[in-house]
Amino acid sequence: MSQWVKEDMGASLALDCDVELMLRVKDGDGASFALLLDKYRVSVTHFLYRMVQDQPVAEELAQEVFLRVYKSRETYEPAAKFTTWLYRIATHLALNWLRDKKNERGQERLDEVAEDGPVRELPDRAPSVEQRMVHRVKVDEVRRAVAALPAKQRAAVLMHKYDEMEYSQIAKILSCSESAVKSLLFRAYETLRVRLAHMA
């Protein structure tokens, strides 16, 4: 049985072209690293941004993620999907940063309304000033609701919602069981349902 599982896992990893690229990086192929960077730069930075809610910090952490990937290329072993490994590094850095920040300042900023909010101009039909303000207020509410979640719940929600990850992959990234991830998500979404109920 375990042999079958190993073979099955080996087969699925063989299909993971990211693992293939990373193995080439291990052999010194810089172009493969560039491909992985182009493929995941945006999603990793966006994940980190939603975790720490500070764009310069998110970019700094994202750089650290890819720097660590590059530095550990020689010891890389394809034990899991490449994205599992990548997001494990990203989550680890984000959780550490949040812990350090919490130690530094407490959690007072979590409920602040950020001045440099991530609100983009609404496309096309030139929304009115009022519509833009309403949109901004709603986005700020979402940001604050997510920021108020415990860090691990936040990470689970972000990977589930924005990166569309399976429960099993989130479990591997957070180093916990699949049922623990489901519990994390249920608690997190329950909090969000209460906080965002008025947005219906």
**For binding to another protein (CB under 8 A), which residues are involved?**
37, 41-42, 45-46, 49-50, 55, 59, 62-63, 66-67, 70-71, 118-120, 135, 138-139, 141-143, 145-146, 157, 160-162, 164, 167, 182, 185-186, 189, 192-193, 196-197, 199-200
Return d(Cα 71, Cα 7) in angstroms, integer.
Answer: 29
**Rounded to the nearest whole angstrom, what is the least distance from the CB of residue 11 to another protein in the complex?**
22
Nearer to another protein, 7 or 166 (CB): 166
**Rounded to the nearest whole angstrom, what is the least distance from the CB of residue 1 to another protein in the complex?**
25
Nearer to another protein, 152 or 161 (CB): 161
Q: Tell me the residue length of the chain.
A: 200
Residue 183 half-sphere exposure toward CB, CA atoms < 13 A: 6
Which residues are CB-contacts of 27 (< 8 A; sequence separation ≥ 6)?
Answer: none
Return d(Cα 182, Cα 93) in angstroms, integer.
Answer: 23
CA neighbor of 47 nearest in space, from 100, 89, 87 = 87
Nearer to another protein, 157 or 173 (CB): 157
Nearer to another protein, 7 or 27 (CB): 27
**Rounded to the nearest whole angstrom, what is the least distance from the CB of residue 84 to another protein in the complex?**
19
Nearer to another protein, 50 or 172 (CB): 50
CA neighbor of 92 nearest in space, from 65, 67, 66, 73 = 65
Q: What is the DSSP letter of 198?
A: G
**Rounded to the nearest whole angstrom, what is the least distance from the CB of residue 118 to another protein in the complex?**
5
Phi, psi of 129 (to 5 degrees): -60, -40
**Rounded to the nearest whole angstrom, what is the least distance from the CB of residue 49 to another protein in the complex?**
5
